[in-house]
Amino acid sequence: MPSVLPDGEPMPDDGALPPRALEGAGERPLGFYLHVPYCATRCGYCDFNTYTASELRGTGGVLASRDNYAEQVVEEIRLARKVLGDDPRPVRTVFVGGGTPTLLAAGDLVRMLGAIRDEFGLADDAEVTTEANPESVDPAYLGELREGGFNRISFGMQSARQHVLKVLDRTHTPGRPEACVGEARAAGFEHVNLDLIYGTPGESDDDWRASLEAAIGAGPDHVSAYALIVEEGTQLARRIRRGEVPMTDDDVHADRYLIADSVLAEAGFEWYEVSNWATSEAGRCFHNELYWRGADWWGAGPGAHSHVGGVRWWNVKHPGAYAAALAAGRSPGAGREILADEDRRVERILLELRLREGVELSILKPAGLAAAGAPCRTAPRPRVVRGGAGRPDPAGRLLADAVVRDLVD
């Protein structure tokens, strides 16, 4: 969740949606994202909407405290129930992200999930994920989460090399994320993800291979690998400007991506989105697929974004402002935009082009169709795959931005 909020029209105090947003809702899956905006320390590369204790001191008083955070999120889930009205859909996915969700007591995460279960009901096959920092969990904590209904967990591993973790300001030791996978499996988690970052200044190809191999060896059924983005305003950007560490390099990123794809494929992981690989369909992250396929999701928590039936809105950013809005009985929404049909079409192309299944031909206009070259017309739903005509290969995936410009015409 990026920390800069867009402009938009104001959100009504009661958070009500235009009736059109709820039309046909029963046919779309519904997910919840619960944001936890706290971290023990801030990693120098991270621009997410998260706060350390010292960053919060004096800015939101007791309201911004993490002690009563779960209760605030429960309040927003109750608001969601009112706004979505008689919507009969049980929730298909819940994803608790951060920040560091596992800085909260396991019971707090279970309580927030319980509110979704009470207000909406959970689908029988609901996917319930939390992100976790490797240094912040132990077997008892993981057992409590599993017992409370979480069935998927995503650990921020980033790298297996100490010198890379140091540049990233990560506080866990090499080997700890891999041990976490074993602890999560022992606790009964069906699905486990490891997040990796490539292209960190000072990382070599060999370091990256070692990270991939360590991740695979730990036995997750999902791996996400992201190119390190140097976000403006971060400590990492300042260090690069001062010449303390070298700038990241696009060509290096491209090479590392190709290494990731081949090492993961050899180990039985299939890519299904540009940055995501899974050992089977069941191992894919269905919650992320809701985002990529333009389904409905409610994002609770400071700065969280939501989307229901073509209406997108976002909450106030600061934990103090968030708590204050809920305490006053107001929606924490800061603004919203009602997407025009053409906006939704372009967005669908942007997102679907990242997916293995590609973009459905039926949403392209004649110019976009012509640019698509020779798409796969024999598929059950004719589509253009990433990289243009019939090129779902890794090199094609790297060309996405150029392809997308032609397809949206």
Residue 42 touches which of ligand SF4, ligand SAM, none (Cβ within 5-8 Å per kind): ligand SF4
Question: Which 8-state DSSP code applies to residue 51?
Answer: B
For CA atoms 356, 362, 367, 372, give the dihedral sign.
positive
Would you state the torsion angle of the CA atoms of residues 131, 136, 140, 145, taken in this order, to the nearest 10 degrees?
-20
Q: Measured from the CB atom, is 158 or 279 closer to ligand SAM? A: 158
Considering only residues 5, 46, 338, 400, which one is a binding residue for ligand SAM as defined by CB under 6 A?
46
Considering only residues 3, 5, 48, 275, which one is a binding residue for ligand SF4 as defined by CB under 6 A?
48
- Dig out the tokens for 402 from the structure: 């150029």
Please tell me whether residue 286 adopts helix, strand or coil conformation: helix
Considering only residues 103, 112, 153, 228, which one is a binding residue for ligand SAM as defined by CB under 6 A?
228
Are the C-beta atoms of residues 358 and 389 closer than 8 Å to each other? Answer: no
| Residue 133 interacts with ligand SAM (CB under 6 A): yes or no | yes
The residues facing 96 across adjacent strands are: 34, 130
| Residue 45 interacts with ligand SAM (CB under 6 A): yes or no | yes
| Residue 348 interacts with ligand SF4 (CB under 6 A): yes or no | no
Q: Measured between alpha carbons, how far is 309 from 323 in angstroms, rounded to an integer?
A: 27
| Residue 100 interacts with ligand SF4 (CB under 6 A): yes or no | yes
Are the C-beta atoms of residues 308 and 295 closer than 8 Å to each other? Answer: no
Are the C-beta atoms of residues 375 and 390 closer than 8 Å to each other? Answer: yes
Per DSSP bridges, beta strands 30-36 and 91-98 are parallel
Considering only residues 29, 101, 156, 358, which one is a binding residue for ligand SF4 as defined by CB under 6 A?
156
Nearest approach, Cβ of residue 307 and ligand SAM (Å)? 20
Alpha helices by DSSP H, 98-152 = 106-119, 139-147
Residue 195 touches which of ligand SF4, ligand SAM, none (Cβ within 5-8 Å per kind): ligand SAM
| Residue 48 interacts with ligand SAM (CB under 6 A): yes or no | yes
Q: Can you give the binding site for ligand SAM, defined by CB under 6 A?
A: 45-46, 48, 97-98, 100, 131, 133, 156, 158, 195, 197, 226, 228-229, 231
* Residue ranges binding ligand SF4 (CB under 6 A): 39, 42-43, 46, 48, 50, 98-100, 133, 156
